[in-house]
A and B are shown apart, each in its own frame.
Chain A
């Protein structure tokens, strides 16, 4: 029997493997209330000591104590506390035109939450600007029930 030694032949350098799997996220009583509120065009925070946290948390981030279901309606308008501009949105971004990602402290809240701001132009974005939500007509109890925020007093 003849033995033939073969050298490495690496024409194929990679193969593909697609993992596809759907997930469900159980919301629990606190985020569940927040999302239910969004469906009804209401934005809820939760009291933690003398602060109002938005979005609400189940446990006090400092002490770990379970927070009582003491919800407070905030906003809907708020103030931008910081921001970043997206010049070329990809298909996965919330808007198909240049927009801002902003930290928005809603009126009555002590914390800021992130969302998109449809300001039209970077020139209209500034820390301290006032924004208000643009709600979707059909709401499902998700964070994007708020399509985005728009500058108060008129969208771009």
Chain B
């Protein structure tokens, strides 16, 4: 790996208990809860932080316009640089990457990054279902693309149900996860109401209130950290238009190139072998095999077979979303940072009951808009791991 830039370490991670409605907390209080947990995890206090980078999905979710203007006190950012990032649903990922770039560019030594959504303030699933203004929402946009994947790959329909069950059973091992469905079965998923054919109710993400936060440091901070750090081996972001003639909506080119750039930067030539665990942005069940193929972890038409053979279970050869993923908690703006932070927790050995034993190299990915923004990073327990 090229080390022209400063190495970046994740030394603290925190998240809220994600719920349908966190009416015990104001919006600043929600953000604060995750940030304080990240600081505690890092063994730091507010005064150790030099800069704050926040992210969230579109402002209409809460109806609080430009919330970065009013969160400076809750994030103790008065007198410090503070900025807000926005790339729709991938924002939690791109926010993490922007924060890491402040370290890698040697601009700051200790950066706090926070992402959140308090979706209950919008009273409905504005982003998922379109709200009263009559938009299609994410489910309506993605459903035909999932159908295209199924038709093109020849995947049997139980693949979607299987992903839905796996992620919810993983979530039972994660006390912060919103949905806790220990009794979920393939049968229950199949019998749940059809929301956007081919997606059943239980194959869709929930709408959550929640926040995630990370403390990032330079190499010196990483080496001095009280708990094991996660080292950022590489990052990548790509975007494209959400709609244009000839667009491959099942395997968007921006996603392919984002992964390609990331693997090249990290020195990954065989992601399926060299990556121990992945947290991928899967808000609807079919997106697990779609991203396995869309990011060249599996060959064309092979992603669903990895699901079918149980390879993406926690105990499988390529665990995907051991935290329960977006299917179990979806505070949209935070969902990407939860992927990025959970990947870090895995290589830090701090993932608790959903820890993948011995995980050394983890991939995190988030996508947003009409599958048009991509953000990815690879983290490792070692700064220069041998990628075998």
**Chain A residues engaging chain B, CB cutoff 8 angstroms:** 17-31, 57-66
Contact = CB atoms under 8 A, between A and B. Distances in A.
Contacts of B74: 58-59, 64
Majority secondary structure of chain A interface residues (helix, strand, loop or mixed): loop
A21 B133 contact: yes
Contact of B118 (A26, A57, A64): A26
Contact of B133 (A19, A25, A27, A29): A19
Interface in B71-92: 73-78
A118 B351 CA distance: 60
B27 interface: yes
B78 A64 contact: yes
Interface centre among A23, A25, A29, A31 (most CB of B within 10 A): A23
Contact of A63 (B24, B76, B124): B76
B200 interface: no
Given A20-B132, A21-B131, A64-B77, A58 B122 contact: no
Contacts of A60: 73
A31 B26 contact: yes
B133 A23 contact: no
A28 B121 CA distance: 13
Contacts of A19: 60, 131, 133
A24 B123 contact: yes
B60 A26 contact: no
Nearest to A22: B123
A17 to B, nearest CB: 8
A59 B25 CA distance: 13
B76 A64 contact: yes
B123 A64 contact: no
Interface in B349-385: none
Nearest to A57: B73
B260 interface: no
A23 B26 CA distance: 14
Given A23-B121, A64-B74, A28 B29 contact: yes
